[in-house]
């Protein structure tokens, strides 16, 4: 049971984790972010009401960092949960809330209204972090299949991306967003952004799990003062059908992960989360089950993995990208690799 005390403090459940014990990461601005967040993408099968319920439970067990996005279609429901928590004594500054600009709102006149809508829906007054969700203005309908393409799909055009970025910079100057950042970027795209940005990206959200460690991009963002936020930290076992291919590997079945989980007496998912935090990225695992999301949070405040275990996990990278992004391609007969600049240069139009 959680309850408000007379002093109006929002209390953590007795079996939860004191948020003060959760490790923090420092951004280049000096602000700190909890080193684990709670993902809120329902993968097309968790309803907005169920996700809001999970967020309520996550707040009660001690999560203070939430990864949201307009396209997840649940910000209004999650916002009601935040509002209720504020009424029960949670202070806004105790929370870290991220949201993201969807691909159909890259137009200069669309960015600020889209962000203000997310802030209104989430009922948070301001965002701690606002990301451009994908570097392509190519949207797809919710729940679509892998062959779906936006009618006006376009490649990455840096000039256009910078127009969108300038609007994000305005949001910082307006005081409604504390930090801005990127998601699903590559090194060549980030190089251009770092060259041209007036306000540097503070974080880059990227797919990161034991079978997809992206060492080069990870090192690049860290070296440039950009915090890596790792999505699908458990290997997204319940991801949508469109994000599955026969070649995909399963992190939580890897013998190295399973062996460590057995030693610790935890689910392999918890090992993935512990590894992520110890490596230095900020994982944002999602779960709808209290025992699961509590175990993930406890994992980051309990006995660390040994140096040998960290090295053993470093050695199981399979370069297995799960979220390949086919629906964001801009031409027929393209391969999903074209989205990821695998040759080190931005894929030509």
Ligand X SMILES: NC(=O)c1ccc[n+]([C@@H]2O[C@H](COP(=O)([O-])OP(=O)(O)OC[C@H]3O[C@@H](n4cnc5c(N)ncnc54)[C@H](OP(=O)(O)O)[C@@H]3O)[C@@H](O)[C@H]2O)c1
Instruction: Find the binding residues for ligand X in span 155-214 (CB under 6 A).
Output: 183-184, 205
Binding mask 277-296 for ligand X (x = CB under 6 A): -------xxxxxx--x--xx
Compute the least distance from the CB of residue 129 to ligand X, in Å.
Answer: 12
239 binds ligand X (CB under 6 A): yes
Binding mask 121-160 for ligand X (x = CB under 6 A): ------------x---------------------------
244 lines the binding site for ligand X (CB under 6 A): no
Contacts of 186 (CB under 8 A, 6+ apart): 217, 340, 341, 346
Burial 100-139 (b: 16+ CB within 10 A, else e): bbbbebbeeebbbebbeebbebbbbeebbbbbbbbbbbbb
* Cα dist from 14 to 17, 44, 45, 64, 202, whole Å: 8, 32, 31, 16, 34
d(CA 39, CA 276): 14
Between CA 318 and CA 213 the distance in angstroms is 8
User: Between residue 54 and residue 93, which ones bind ligand X under the rule CB under 6 A?
Assistant: 67
In terms of Cβ atoms closer than 10 Å to its own Cβ (0-12, 13-18, 19+), residue 258 is middle
Q: Which is nearer to ligand X, 9 or 43 (CB)?
A: 43
- CB nearer to ligand X: give 58 or 171: 58
| Residue 232 touches ligand X, criterion: CB under 6 A | yes
Q: Which of 87, 147, 238, 263 binds ligand X (CB under 6 A)?
A: 238
**In whole angstroms, what is the distance from residue 218 CA to residue 20 CA?**
27
| Closest separation in Å from C-beta 140 to ligand X | 13
> Cβ of residue 300: shortest distance to ligand X, in angstroms?
12
Q: How far is the CB of 265 from ligand X (least distance, A)?
A: 13
Among 85, 111, 177, 269, binds ligand X (CB under 6 A): 269
To ligand X, the closest distance from the beta carbon of 208 in angstroms equals: 10
**Taking the mean position of all CA atoms in its chain, how far away is CA 283?**
7
Does 334 contact ligand X by CB under 6 A?
no
Torsion of CA 73, 75, 76, 80, to 10 degrees: 140
40 binds ligand X (CB under 6 A): yes
249 binds ligand X (CB under 6 A): no
Residue 313 binds ligand X (CB under 6 A): no
Min dist CB 114 to ligand X, Å, is 16
Burial of 307 (C-beta count, 10 Å sphere; 0-12/13-18/19+): exposed
Q: How many residues bind ligand X (CB under 6 A)?
A: 31
Give, in order, the Cα–Cα distances in Å from 180 to each of 53, 115, 197, 282, 314. 28, 11, 11, 16, 30
- Give the binding site for ligand X (CB under 6 A): 39-41, 43, 67, 133, 183-184, 205, 231-239, 267, 269-270, 284-289, 292, 295-296, 323
């Amino acid at each position: 049971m959680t309850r408000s005390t007379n002093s109006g403090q929002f209390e953590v459940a007795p079996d939860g984790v004191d948020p003060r014990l959760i490790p923090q990461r420092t951004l280049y601005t000096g602000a700190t972010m909890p080193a684990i967040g709670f993902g809120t993408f329902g993968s097309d099968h968790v309803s907005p009401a169920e996700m809001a319920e999970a967020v309520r439970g996550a707040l009660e067990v001690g999560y203070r960092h939430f990864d949201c996005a307009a396209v997840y279609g649940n910000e209004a429901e999650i916002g009601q949960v935040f509002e209720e928590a504020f009424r029960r004594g949670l202070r806004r500054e105790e929370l870290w809330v991220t949201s993201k600009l969807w691909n159909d709102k890259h137009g200069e006149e669309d960015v600020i209204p889209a962000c203000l809508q997310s802030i209104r829906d989430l009922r948070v007054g301001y965002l701690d972090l606002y990301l451009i969700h994908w570097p392509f203005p190519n949207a797809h309908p919710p729940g679509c299949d892998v062959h779906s393409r936006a009618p006006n799909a376009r490649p990455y055009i840096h000039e256009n991306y910078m127009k969108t970025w300038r609007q994000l910079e305005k949001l910082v100057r307006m005081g409604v967003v504390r930090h801005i950042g990127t998601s699903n970027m590559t090194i060549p795209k980030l190089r251009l952004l770092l060259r041209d940005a007036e306000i540097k990206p503070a974080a880059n959200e990227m797919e990161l799990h034991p079978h997809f460690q992206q060492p080069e991009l990870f090192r690049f963002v860290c070296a440039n003062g950009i915090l890596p936020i790792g999505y699908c930290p458990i290997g997204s076992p319940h991801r949508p059908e469109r994000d599955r291919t026969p070649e995909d590997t399963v992190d939580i079945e890897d013998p190295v992960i399973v062996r460590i989980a057995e030693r610790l007496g935890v689910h392999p998912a918890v090992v993935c989360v512990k590894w992520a935090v110890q490596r230095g990225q900020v994982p944002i695992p999602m779960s709808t089950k209290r025992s699961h999301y509590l175990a993930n949070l406890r994992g980051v405040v309990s006995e660390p993995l040994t140096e040998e275990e960290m090295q053993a996990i470093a050695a199981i990278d399979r370069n297995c990208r799960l979220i390949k992004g086919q629906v964001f391609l801009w031409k027929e007969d393209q391969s999903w690799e074209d989205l990821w600049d695998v040759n080190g240069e931005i894929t030509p139009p």
